[in-house]
Amino acid sequence: MSDDAQIIERIEARVYRVPVARPVATSFGVMRDRPAVFVKITAASGAFGWGEVFANWPAAGAEHRARLLMEDMGDLLPGRRVEHPARTFHELERATRIRALQCGEWGPFRQVIAGIDTALSDLFARAAGQPMRTWLDASAGASVPAYASGIAVHDAQEALATARAAGYRAFKVKVGFDAARDLKALHALRLAPGERLFADANQAWTLPEALRFVEAGRAIGLGWLEEPLPADAPPADWADLARASSIPLAGGENIAGHDAFDAAIASRSFAYLQPDLAKWGGVSGNLAVARAIGAAGLTYCPHFLGGGIGLLASAHLLAAAGGDGLLEIDANPNPLREAFPGAGILGDGRLHLSDAPGLGIDALPEEIGRYLTLELSRTRDG
């Protein structure tokens, strides 16, 4: 990694919303459009980088996070000397602690800081002339295996065929709606030899409900069951479920902070841990967590369900972290992801990464311009 300091000259936030013909349903709610908040940070040297802030929930969250970045945290950024993104990440967490406590908006503050960190990591990698993955780890590979995500279990056979034709050999379906109907749909799915199937309950169940599901679903052959319990369920509940389940458990997208991830790792309840770099930690926080996951003999699989910048950053991070984890790629149509070059897999089921500096993004794709809903900026001069 390069340690040349950079002075932040300008920060920009752009919010996009894409209406969708087919809403994306989860056990707790429905996404009726696809939002994204993209952040650009430019240094006095002319170097720049791109990041992405989580914005899927609540429905009005995207514009709120952009305004939070500019109107609440803007005083912390322009003119700031950044010696390394990881150091600034921790400084911003400390500087915003009381602000988040005052309003109770821990998630939005964490998510904005995550986007800032990813943009700074991209900036530093670009300034060093290296792709992000090798800036993070010189031995990082040039591609990562991927799976198709966001598939509704009751329409899964058709969706699996489409994803299979695109090159995927692993798939994740959403459950947590009606357990009996979900199980029937899972049993009916047909996979080709060598394919893998995962299920995501999106925090839908109590412990007794989850125990009934894993017992009834024992013969399906799921590779993992994701978030069968709420993320804040007592650790004892997670431990009881892990002991009873023949299906490996996965989770982590709704865990935030090094201490919380250390506890999740130490619990041994999760075979797969899935931090989301747009929700917490950005590149800096997630790299440290990913390495801790690997050191514990568990599998790091980054969670992501947003635009092209966060997806590419997740892919570079997975390549740098190593291990046998898979990259999550949303199978639902989303121009805010698809318009970015390199944000799709090839026929071998892998996403192949560019050797361009940073994330390889010079500018946002022109074709997403019609979806812009808000554009804000701030400079050292105000």
Tell me if 100 sits within 8 A of 113, measured CB to CB. Answer: no
pLDDT in tens, 294-346: 999 999 999 999 999 999 999 999 999 999 999 999 999 999 999 999 877 77
CA distance 63 to 15: 6
CA distance 128 to 286: 21
Sign of CA dihedral 323, 293, 163, 336: negative
CA distance 27 to 321: 31
pLDDT value, residue 2 = 45
Distances (CA, A) of 290 to 20, 149, 267, 320: 33, 20, 16, 9
pLDDT value, residue 1 = 42
Q: In the predicted model, what is the mean pLDDT of the chain?
A: 95
pLDDT in tens, 82-96: 999 999 999 999 999
Percentage of residues in the chain with pLDDT exceeding 90?
91
Sign of CA dihedral 190, 194, 195, 201: positive
The band of 148, judged by pLDDT with boundaries at 50, 70 and 90, is very high
Instruction: Extract the tokens encoding 289.
Output: 């967590």
Please identify which residue in the block is written with the tokens 């000259």: 9
Instruction: Extract the tokens encoding 379.
Output: 């400079």
pLDDT in tens, 85-139: 999 999 999 999 999 999 999 999 999 999 999 999 999 999 999 999 999 999 9
For residue 223, the one-letter residue type is: G
pLDDT in tens, 28-74: 777 789 999 999 999 999 999 999 999 998 988 999 999 999 999 99
For residue 213, the one-letter residue type is: F
CA distance 191 to 56: 30
- Euclidean distance between the first and the last CA atom of the chain, given in angstroms as a whole number: 31
Please identify which residue in the block is written with the tokens 């986007």: 115
Tell me if 283 sits within 8 A of 117, measured CB to CB. Answer: yes
CA distance 378 to 278: 21
Q: Which residues pair with 82 in a beta bridge?
A: 6
Please identify which residue in the block is written with the tokens 């919380």: 260
